[in-house]
Each structure stands twice: as C-alpha cells, then as structure tokens.
Amino acid sequence: MREAELEARLAESLGPTAARAAVDALIAAWGGCRLDIPNGSAARLRQRDREIRRMYRNGADLFALRDQFGLSDRHLRRIVSRVH
C-alpha cells in the first residue's frame, strides 16, 4: 500500500490530522520495512474460546455450545479443557 492510500484509509476512521500523524509515526519507526499486519483472526478465536469457557463454567450444556458455535464435540472439549 502506498503512503497516500494508507493516509486516506486511516483518515476514514481517525480523521485527516490523526491519519497524517499516524503515517508519519509509521514511516519514522518502520519506513522501508515490509510489515505483515495481522487480520485479527487469532484474537477473535481467543475471544471466542474465552467466551465458550466462561459459558461452560456458568453451566452451559456442551451440546448447546456445540450448536451455537458450530464446533465439533472433540474441538469443544479441547477448548473447555484448556486452562486460561
């Protein structure tokens, strides 16, 4: 992504002044480097698993959790058996 496109996209959510400041900070810290920006899928899965464990500790039925989250029995048991 080019600098102008990055600034335009950031301006949509941050506003133009904050977007320019963010672009300048990114350039100063990592200019010339290739960055891999996470898409958030790992964080969403961790949050889902925390929610499953919380619901299970509060008495939710494994079958209901399986249906609600669309997981196999084995995967659901693996999630609730983890201690986090």
Distances from the Cα of 5 to the Cαs of 2, 10, 19, 41, 82, in angstroms? 5, 9, 11, 24, 42
* Spans of all domains in the chain: 1-37, 41-81
User: Tens digits of per-residue pLDDT, 1-16?
Assistant: 889 999 999 999 999 9
Specify the pLDDT at position 14: 95
CA distance 75 to 9: 38
pTM of this structure: 0.66
Distances from the Cα of 53 to the Cαs of 7, 41, 74, in angstroms? 40, 18, 14
Number of C-beta neighbours around residue 10 at 10 A: 18
User: Tens digits of per-residue pLDDT, 46-83?
Assistant: 999 999 999 999 999 999 999 999 999 999 999 999 87
- For 68, the 3-state DSSP assignment is helix
